[in-house]
Amino acid sequence: MNGLTESLPPLSAHEAAVEASRCLFCYDAPCTHACPTHIDIAQFIKKISTGNLTGSARTIFDSNLLGATCARVCPVQELCEGACVLGSEHKPIAIGRLQRHAMDHAYQTGQGLAIAGTPTGFHVAVVGAGPAGLSCAGELAKRGHAVTIYEKRDLGGGLSTYGIIALREPVGVALAEVEMIRNLGVRLQTGVEFGCDISLDTLIGDHSAVFLSLGLGKTPALGIPGEEHLVDGIEFIEQSKTAPAGPPVGREVLVIGAGNTAIDCATIAKRLGAARVTMIYRRTAAEMTAYAHEYAFIQNEGVQLEFLTQPVAVVIEDGRVTGLRCRRMSLVQTGPGRPTPEPIPGSEFIIPADQIVKAIGQEKPPAFNGIETDRGFLRVNDSLETSVAGVYAGGDCIRARGSASTVMAVQDGKRAAAAIDKALTGTRS
Ligand SMILES: Cc1cc2nc3c(=O)[nH]c(=O)nc-3n(C[C@H](O)[C@H](O)[C@H](O)COP(=O)(O)OP(=O)(O)OC[C@H]3O[C@@H](n4cnc5c(N)ncnc54)[C@H](O)[C@@H]3O)c2cc1C
Ligand code: SF4
């Protein structure tokens, strides 16, 4: 492979026991409140401290079927570890790494995994096998419902498989979770594109309920001349995970954007041999959407940042990229919220580059006939039901507000499964 492997080593049994023994097992623990899936963290850590790894894994699976992914990709500094009472005076408990320890045990031994419920006779369709879809499907299977997931790609896992840098999550971890969900009896039909190979009406007609978890779309267009020469950031990351040699990487690489995708692209370019990697952002460090720890990480990697800089055109010579024409911006406070970047007249300049990666997020989900939207995202009510009765949605495709993350998608899947179960059986939740 290309050398991009998981950056944090697993804890040894001894390290895990020592770390677990530091936990105060707080009553009404703030770490659990801070976890969007409300894992009983004190309990799973307690079980690690007594050597009961299978029980620990069970506690995690009770609240979060994708605990192995979340242990690796969750921004724990902002969530559970950020809330740990030990954080103010000492080091917070390494909750993410302890969770990974318990999950690795479950996947290596096959013990502690969830089991399917008694069949109910209901059949639910799930569209998209990313974290939201897998979570919903697994939770429904635990309650005894038959589930078929329709996925357009060849592999399940969504962005956990294709989009999250291997330094945080190797493909194998995501695929093991897909397999675990399939082992609950969930059918995964890959290569089936909703809206193209299968319609909403067909899904509604053939199933008791439908859950839409399509994620978001492609990288949006910048609308600058020469755009066709830019490398798509999400595809760049995908190749770094799935192509043995990784993506072709230039010597002087520019990454347009300053969010988490851009940070991952810059990291990959740097680690795979680029001499210089520069991120281009039209605002300043204060407005970056990436987490603070990721900004610190990228600076440590030796990536440079050009703030207050906006791309104007790709410079092409003899059919090859040689640079990016940019202009300087200034920030103007025109009203409440983030200041607006405005071009400084006559400030154009060229940054030399032989590869330019566009990493400016993802397009909103496609519109589907009859399903109401909110700012381009699928609109749902408190039960995550869309404007079409019996059709639910969750994950990135509904996240009109706030930042999207894996753990929130997992929680959506869980909540939707509970709502669907209640609607179908009338009693449980
Ligand atoms: C580069 C990058 C890095 C990230 N890093 C992190 C991180 O470190 N930590 C974190 O918490 N979050 C991270 N995220 C966000 C996280 O990956 C998402 O919030 C999460 O994957 C959302 O899950 P989802 O199931 O809603 O969507 P997705 O993971 O996008 O899954 C959607 C699935 O639906 C399928 N699909 C789409 N359209 C159709 C269709 N028409 N028919 C059938 N199937 C379809 C897709 O192929 C995909 O498998 C990152 C995102 C990106 C882009
Ligand atoms: S807040 Fe910290 S010390 Fe308290 S239970 Fe959670 S991990 Fe343990």
| Digitized pLDDT (tens) for each residue of the chain, 429 residues in all | 566 888 899 999 999 999 999 999 999 999 999 999 999 999 999 999 999 999 999 999 999 999 999 999 999 999 999 999 999 888 999 999 999 999 999 999 998 888 999 999 999 999 999 999 999 999 999 999 999 999 999 999 999 999 999 999 999 999 999 999 999 999 999 999 999 999 999 999 999 999 999 999 989 999 999 999 999 999 999 999 998 888 999 999 999 999 889 999 999 999 999 999 999 999 998 888 788 888 888 999 999 999 999 999 999 999 999 999 999 999 998 888 888 999 999 999 999 999 999 999 899 998 887 899 999 999 999 999 999 999 999 999 999 887 789 999 999 999 999 999 999 998 655
**23 CB near ligand 2 (under 6 Å):** yes
Beta carbons within 8 Å of 88's beta carbon, 6+ residues apart: none
Rounded to the nearest whole angstrom, what is the distance from the C-alpha of residue 62 to the centroid of ligand 2?
19
Complete DSSP assignment for 184-208: TT-EEEES--BTTTB-HHHHHHHSS
**175 CB near ligand 2 (under 6 Å):** no
**86 CB near ligand 2 (under 6 Å):** yes
Q: What is the CA radius of gyration of the chain?
A: 23
Give the closest residue (by CA) to ligand 1 atom 49.
158
Q: What is the pLDDT of residue 335?
A: 80
**261 CB near ligand 1 (under 6 Å):** yes
**150 CB near ligand 1 (under 6 Å):** yes
Compute the CA torsion angle 233, 239, 240, 245 (nearest 10 deg). Answer: -140
Angle formed at CA 93 by CA 18 and CA 296, multiple of 5 degrees: 125
Rounded to the nearest whole angstrom, what is the distance from the C-alpha of residue 406 to the centroid of ligand 2?
22
Angle formed at CA 123 by CA 122 and CA 126, multiple of 5 degrees: 140
Structural domains in the chain plus CATH codes: 13-109 (1.10.1060.10), 123-217+363-425 (3.50.50.60), 227-358 (3.50.50.60)
The span from the CA of 43 to the CA of 55, in Å, is: 9
Which ligand minimizes its atom distance to the CA of 94? 2
Q: What is the pLDDT of residue 60?
A: 98
The span from the CA of 258 to the CA of 303, in Å, is: 12
3-state secondary structure of 61: helix
Query: Measured from the CA of 156, which atom of ligand 1 is nearest?
Result: 49
**39 CB near ligand 2 (under 6 Å):** no
Q: What is the pLDDT of residue 201?
A: 94
pTM of the model: 0.95
**20 CB near ligand 2 (under 6 Å):** no
* Integer angstrom CA distances of residue 270 from 266, 274, 278, 294, 298: 6, 5, 10, 15, 10
The span from the CA of 62 to the CA of 39, in Å, is: 8
Amino acid letter, residue 233: G
